[in-house]
Chains A and B, each alone.
Chain A
Amino acid sequence: MLTLSGIHTFYGPIEALRGVDIQVARGEIVTLIGANGAGKSTLLMTICGRPRATRGQILFDGEDITRDETFLIVRRGIAQAPEGRRIFARLTVFENLQIGATVGQPQHFDEDIEKVFILFPILRQRRNQRGGTLSGGEQQMLSIGRALMSRPRLLLLDEPSLGLAPIVAKQIFAAIAEINRTQGLTVLLVEQNAFHALRLAHRGYVLQTGRIVLSGTGAELLANPEVRSAYLEGGVHA
């Protein structure tokens, strides 16, 4: 479904990605793990064209989207819940979800928002509150819900568990597993919480200073001694 080949991206003067090749197949949850500054978020943003890749090619459903405008990439069916959640703080929860549905068909709106409210019931209670008044966990739910409102075929998730209490993080991961299972939604997940991410994902890639250094199934990577020592030991074991 999504194929990145030889992607180079500059973030300011820094070459954040130095020839990345990854593939995501339909229906998969693929995770990308790596240390802070490895280029994980840059990779997700590059898929959406912000910043654009300086070299390499991104194919989505066989079509080249490398040079497309961000909003056109999104209209093709790629949604992102980005790093830092980026909730519109002065818009209500409902308005945030409405903005999420910009790309969607108006006749699907009621059905889609109902799905989001079933997935994250707290959002229904908070619907008329401003986004900025939500807790971190609620904002993360809103960020994912907002991304789902466009009926994406590929969902990009950037550190959904960051800064959340373990129990809330668990809830978020469970929700991701559920939408993947029930709706067949393809997910590319970036996480620092490697343990959770690898258990959830079908496959994973390890990104180190802008390059993919390892890849395999979730179980393989979990068992890999290098991955264990670099990303799991001393990390979060839940």
Chain B
Amino acid sequence: MEYFLQQAINGITLGAIYGLVAIGYTMVYGIIGMINFAHGEIYMIGAFVAVIAFSILAMFGIANVPLAILIVLAVAVIFTSAYGWTVERIAYRPLRGSFRLAPLISAIGMSIFLQNYVQVLQGARVKPLQPVVTGGLTIMRSDHFTVALSYIQILIILTTVVLMIGFSLLIARTALGRAQRACEQDLTMAALLGINVDRTISLTFVLGAGLAAVAGVMVTLYYGVVDFYIGFQAGLKAFAAAVLGGIGSLPGAMLGGLLIGLVEAFWAAYFTVEYKDLATFAILILVLIFRPTGLLGRPDVEKV
């Protein structure tokens, strides 16, 4: 029981990070119908910015942890969003209206480029970060096992919940969210009503990148190491989460992230760590066989 609870906590933490990244995939797919394969790299860049920013803050001797985290979050979100915007501007927008595979190929190219770019600039070696947030709570203790909820896990879960609520409100209530939903359904009609479609798409990339940046900061704090390759792995998982939940659906991305995090944690805990990715993707395949639109996705038919 204690062991189970501990794995659930670990799984939810991991799932929160996947969920944040998955939103970027699902939003971009919803609005322009392409898979932004470079999104994992955007998240990786967020993590690198976090490491660099923490080091710089340490150099200046800023020791107040909450303040440092806030500054790093802000810096990471700003830098990473700028990357997200730029990727869309140079790699996807010129291909809009081209054949469907073109932006996809461009996305894969962008992904490889960003990996190599970071590898060249930062080196291939793993970058460590001194633990910033330490300690935690002990939830349960038995003779041979202690269930711990670390402060960093609390931070990750809380941040994710707050961001997801805020984000859902943004989509449901604001003019930008409305414009996004309109563009998602009919780009031409949105333009015919005076919506600046290009700007709406850009903002979608910026928002997705911002959430990925937060995930990058969190993962840096959680694991304490980053390298140029983490974007590929996490990106694949988050993409799987988006598909599992139903690509194009925001609640689906959150749910998919959570499920994949949990499956991974439990599989690694009860079976073999080596095969945890296998388990994740096997479940993805099974779900897609029986529900091709994902758990919360809707079939692509609409009454006209």
Contacts and interface: CB of A to CB of B under 8 A. Distances in A.
Which range holds the interface residue count of chain B? 20 to 34
B240 to A, nearest CB: 25
Contacts of A133: 303
A46 B248 CA distance: 31
A98 B181 CA distance: 12
B178 interface: yes
A71 B196 contact: yes
Nearest to B188: A50
Contacts of B182: 88, 91, 99
A95 B178 contact: yes
Nearest to A98: B178
Given A71-B196, A71-B197, A102-B179, A88 B189 contact: yes
Nearest to A133: B303
A146 interface: yes
Interface string B264-293: 000000000000000000000000000000
Nearest to A48: B192
B193 A103 contact: yes
A205 to B, nearest CB: 22
B303 A74 contact: no
A190 B193 CA distance: 19
Interface in B176-224: 178-179, 181-182, 185-186, 188-197
A99 B192 contact: no
A129 interface: no
Given A84-B304, A89-B303, A132-B303, A74 B185 contact: no
A100 interface: yes
B195 A90 contact: no
A204 interface: no
Given A71-B196, A71-B197, A74-B194, A88 B179 contact: no
A91 B192 CA distance: 16
Contact of B181 (A70, A74, A75, A88): A88
Contacts of A74: 191-194
Contacts of A71: 191, 194-197
Interface of B: 175, 178-179, 181-182, 185-186, 188-197, 302-304
Given A71-B197, A90-B185, A95-B181, 4 more contacts: A71-B191, A74-B191, A88-B181, A95-B178
Interface of A: 48, 50, 69-71, 74-75, 79-80, 82, 84, 86, 88-91, 95, 98-100, 102-103, 132-133, 146-147, 150
Ordered nearest first, which 3 A-B pairs have the shortest CB separation?
A103-B194, A74-B194, A70-B191
